[in-house]
Structure 1
Amino acid sequence: MTADQPRAPGPAQLPEGYRLLPEPPAAQEYVRMRTVTGLTPVTPAQAEGPLVASWAWTTVRDEHGQLAAMGRVLGDGGWYFHIADVATDPGHQRRGLGRVVMEDLIARIDAEAPPHPYITLLGDPPGRALYRALGFVDSEPSLGMRLPR
Structure 2
Amino acid sequence: MRYEVRDELPTPEEFIALRDAADMAPRSLEAVERGLPNSVFGVTVVDGETGEVVGMARIIGDGGSVYQIGDMAVHPDHQRQGLGSRMMERLMEYLEENAPEGAYVNLMADVEGFYEQFGFEYTAPASRGMYQRM
Using the TM superposition, name which of 23-32 and 113-122 deviates more: 113-122
- Structure-1 separation of matches of 2:22 and 2:133: 21
Give the TM-score, by structure 1 length: 0.84
Matching residue of 2:132 = 147
Superposition misfits of 4+ residues, deviation over 6 angstroms: none
- Show structure 1 runs of 5+ residues with no match: 1-15
CA distance in 1, matches of 2:63, 2:29: 26
Cα distance in structure 2, aligned partners of 1:109 and 1:135: 13
Instruction: Establish whether residue 83 from structure 1 lines up as the match of residue 69 from structure 2.
Output: yes
Give the root-mean-square deviation of aligned CA atoms.
1.2
- 2:87 paired with 1:101: yes
Summarize deviations over 1:34-82 as a string: whole Å, max 9, x none. Answer: 1110111112112112321110011110012111111000111212110
Equivalent residues in 2 for 1:1-149, closer than 5 Å: 16-63=1-48, 64-124=50-110, 127-140=111-124, 141-149=126-134
Question: How many Å separate the matches in 2 of 1:49 and 1:96?
Answer: 30
Offset, 1:148: 3.2
Higher-Rg structure is 1
Find the residue that maps to 1:128 and give its secondary structure: coil
**Structure-2-length-normalised TM-score:** 0.92
Q: Which residue of 2 aligns with 1:9?
A: none
Task: Report % sequence identity.
Answer: 33
Q: Give the deviation of 1:116 after TM superposition.
A: 2.8
String of CA shifts for 1:103-149, please: whole Å, max 9, x gaps: 1111101101212321100011xx23211222211012111101233
